[in-house]
Amino acid sequence: MKTKLWMAALLVSGTLVAQDQPKLYNTAKQKLLSGKQIFSVSINKADPVAYCEAAKHYDYTWFEMQHSTLTWADIEKMIAACPNVAATPMVRIHDELESSIQHATDIGLLGIIMPTVDTVEKAQAAVRYAKYPPEGRRSMGGGQAARIWFGPGGDNTMKYRMSVNENMLVVVMIETPVGVAHTNEIANVPGVDVVLVANTDLGNFSGYFDHSAGPYQGMVKQIHDATLHAGKFLGATDPSYAKGRPDSADFRMIQNGPSMDGWVNPARPNNGRAANP
């Protein structure tokens, strides 16, 4: 009886959650939960040496498949080349098909970044195929994921299976006026963790190429407000949103931007925005 009362008291205080839940091996997600901003290095070429060096210095890796010719085999080799590197490996995927997301998760990626999300259904698909039952319908199969995060061995396969849902980060990108109009419903999809303002394409699809213009910033505010109201993390593809704005602290996940330790990426010496955000 005393044990039950003690557990109930811990549950009310919130201490039980902190004691019972181990620190996530998705360190980028852990940082978000700890109130920090996270920044990526973008990888769009198959170069394990360059990847392993750059990934030492960032919170997460943004493997680019929407706007590159990278293959799953390319990314698989890079992840395997330095499995314990600092940056959590994530991918901007090219579609929401089960087979695509299955490839991504099976090779050990811990983040699915879904572009051009206009509908609840597309957001739901990202969650559905990124997570095992009961939260999703990801299939168990081969791949290096369990070895990447737990090492070889049959027991580690189940350790991965039982822990990866919590460690998976599902990110949806709002890029069009249609997506903006549906942001509230999209952000409220269970399992979506982050809603990202796709700054360049938001201008491209809306015709507001001046990002300081009132209508453009009005769309950003709509995404901002709906995301925070849904209790989800907010992000942007423009690194300048990380500071200098009244709402910069609300933008927690940033594509590119500064490294953790001052290292300068030779591929992006100015920490500029991505080529195709």
Pairwise CA distance, residues 239 & 219, whole Å = 18
Pairwise CA distance, residues 119 & 3, whole Å = 47
Provide the pLDDT confidence category of residue 276 given band limits of 50, 70 and 90: very low
Nearest residue to 110 (alpha-carbon basis) of 81, 71, 73, 84: 84
Query: How many other C-beta atoms can be found within 10 angstroms of the C-beta atom of residue 147?
Result: 16
Looking at every residue in the chain, the average pLDDT score rounds to: 90
State the amino acid at position 40 in one-letter form.
Answer: S
Does any domain span residue 233?
A: yes
pLDDT by residue (tens digit) across 168-212? 999 999 999 999 999 999 999 999 999 999 999 999 999 999 999
* Token pair in block for residue 183: 């942001």
52: containing domain: 24-254
Number of domains the chain contains? 1
pLDDT by residue (tens digit) across 210-239? 999 999 999 999 999 999 999 999 999 999
Residue 59: what pLDDT?
98
Does any domain span residue 262?
A: no
Mean pLDDT over 269-276 rounds to 51
Does any domain span residue 260?
A: no
Pairwise CA distance, residues 261 & 59, whole Å = 10
Residue 23: what pLDDT?
82
Residue 226: what pLDDT?
98
Does any domain span residue 152?
A: yes
pLDDT by residue (tens digit) across 41-72? 999 999 999 999 999 999 999 999 999 999 99
* Token pair in block for residue 97: 């098909």
Map 189-254 to HEC letters: CCCCCEEEECHHHHHHHHCCCCCCCHHHHHHHHHHHHHHHHCCCEEEECCHHHHCCCCCHHHEEEE
Does any domain span residue 73?
A: yes
Q: At 110, which CATH number?
A: 3.20.20.60
Does any domain span residue 266?
A: no
Does any domain span residue 222?
A: yes
Map 14-36 to HEC letters: CHHHHHHCCCCCCHHHHHHHCCC
Residue 13: what pLDDT?
32
Pairwise CA distance, residues 98 & 274, whole Å = 27
Residues 6+ apart with CB under 8 A from 232: 187, 192, 193, 194, 195
Structural contact between residues 186 and 179, judged by C-beta atoms closer than 8 angstroms = yes
Does any domain span residue 275?
A: no
